[in-house]
């Protein structure tokens, strides 16, 4: 399918007004799911800058009991609305792993279901259909939207509102120029962590458990190579790495060395929700008899351990 968008040659030229509105081209990625079909349903949608690949905005919502198809259409509508907020005149390319929605919105398949007819009509009203193209992609290429839809369902089933991931902090502004230090003045070290490397004998398993958790804690997937993957930003990142230099024997948190990593994970409800979700991604709860106050009566946290023996602590604000 071509990515080129066709425009009406007689349409008024708004290029001067649109220049400051936002990117002229946007990519929408959307997904939806239903646990039970119909059952507890939710959707996720995001808008990406096609030039840089950066996610500009993302959204997820629980929609109660609905079918999988209705949830996917709801994600499409939300994604188009997000794109409209950025630039209503942009050319938008929609990527979804729902063959049904892509083929129906492209006009190649007929829409028979009444609920989907309503949602499809709503989607066509959000943006000029001539400015929107559709592409089917495999599920493994739609991970961000899939993550959002699952977060929405998890939050809805737990009775808590969905919250977006914490945005990466912007670099601090450059301070004003100051007099040069005296020759004998010693500068104190900045003391901030630059990155952490976690070595593992099983990189795919570590990525499926620890990598999954890092993304939920606001560490976006940064880069990857043959024996490793990084999560975070240039300001601070965490690396999971394997390879021939990793000594056999596995990890034992009770030996000398680093015992565990602790992360701020939001409210108490957010900690509880993430701990429950982690159970489906290779994590088990430690200190069950003292949870959630294993660290003390004033310290609300969940201590988790994965199959390799790595421990993390999710601390409530």
Asked if pLDDT for residue 97 goes beyond 50, the answer is yes
**Arithmetic mean of pLDDT, 128-152:** 93
pLDDT at residue 213 in the model: 94
Question: Domain coordinates of the chain in residue numbers?
Answer: 22-158, 195-315
CB contact at 8 A, 246 and 256: no
Q: Rg of the chain's alpha carbons, rounded to an integer?
A: 23
Asked if pLDDT for residue 183 goes beyond 80, the answer is no
CATH number of 22-158: 3.30.420.10
pLDDT at residue 295 in the model: 93
Domains 22-158 and 195-315 fall in the same CATH topology: no
Choice among 10-14, 157-161, 186-190 with the minimum mean pLDDT: 10-14
68-101 b/e (C-beta count within 10 Å ≥ 16 → b): bbbbbbbbbbbbbbbbbebbebbbbbbbbbbebb
Asked if pLDDT for residue 3 goes beyond 50, the answer is no
The CATH number of 195-315 is which of 3.40.605.10, 3.40.50.300, 3.10.180.10, 3.30.30.60? 3.10.180.10
Choice among 155-164, 175-184, 257-266 with the minimum mean pLDDT: 175-184
Spell out where the chain has E strands. 25-35, 39-48, 55-66, 91-96, 132-136, 195-199, 221-225, 228-232, 237-241, 261-264, 283-285, 301-306, 311-315
Asked if pLDDT for residue 172 goes beyond 50, the answer is no
Q: What percent of the chain has pLDDT over 90?
A: 64
């Amino acid at each position: 399918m071509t990515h080129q968008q066709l425009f009406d040659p007689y349409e008024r030229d708004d290029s001067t007004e649109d220049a400051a509105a936002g990117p002229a081209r946007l990519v929408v990625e959307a997904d939806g799911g239903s646990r039970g079909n119909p059952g507890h349903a939710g959707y996720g949608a995001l808008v990406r800058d096609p030039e840089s690949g950066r996610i500009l905005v993302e959204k997820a919502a629980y929609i109660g009991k609905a079918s999988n198809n209705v949830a996917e259409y709801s994600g499409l509508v939300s994604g188009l609305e997000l794109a409209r907020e950025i630039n209503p005149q942009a050319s938008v390319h929609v990527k979804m792993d729902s063959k049904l929605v892509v083929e129906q919105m492209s006009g190649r398949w007929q829409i028979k279901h009444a609920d989907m007819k309503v949602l499809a009509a709503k989607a066509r009203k959000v943006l000029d259909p001539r400015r929107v193209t559709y592409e089917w992609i495999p599920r493994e290429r739609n991970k961000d939207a899939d993550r959002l839809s699952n977060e929405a369902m998890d939050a809805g089933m737990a009775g808590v509102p969905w919250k977006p991931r914490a945005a990466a902090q912007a670099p601090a502004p450059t301070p004003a120029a100051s007099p040069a230090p005296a020759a004998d003045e010693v500068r104190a070290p900045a003391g901030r962590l630059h990155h952490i490397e976690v070595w593992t004998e099983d990189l795919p398993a570590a990525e499926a458990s620890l990598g999954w958790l890092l993304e939920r804690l606001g560490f976006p997937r940064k880069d990857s190579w043959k024996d490793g993957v990084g999560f975070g930003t240039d300001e601070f990142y965490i690396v999971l790495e394997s390879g021939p230099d990793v000594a056999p024997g596995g990890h034992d948190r009770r030996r000398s060395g680093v015992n565990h990593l602790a992360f701020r994970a939001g409210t108490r409800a957010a900690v509880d929700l993430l701990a429950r979700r982690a159970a489906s991604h290779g994590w088990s709860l430690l200190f069950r008899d003292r949870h959630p106050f294993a660290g003390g009566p004033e310290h609300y946290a969940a201590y988790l351990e994965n199959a390799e023996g790595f421990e993390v602590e999710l601390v409530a604000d």
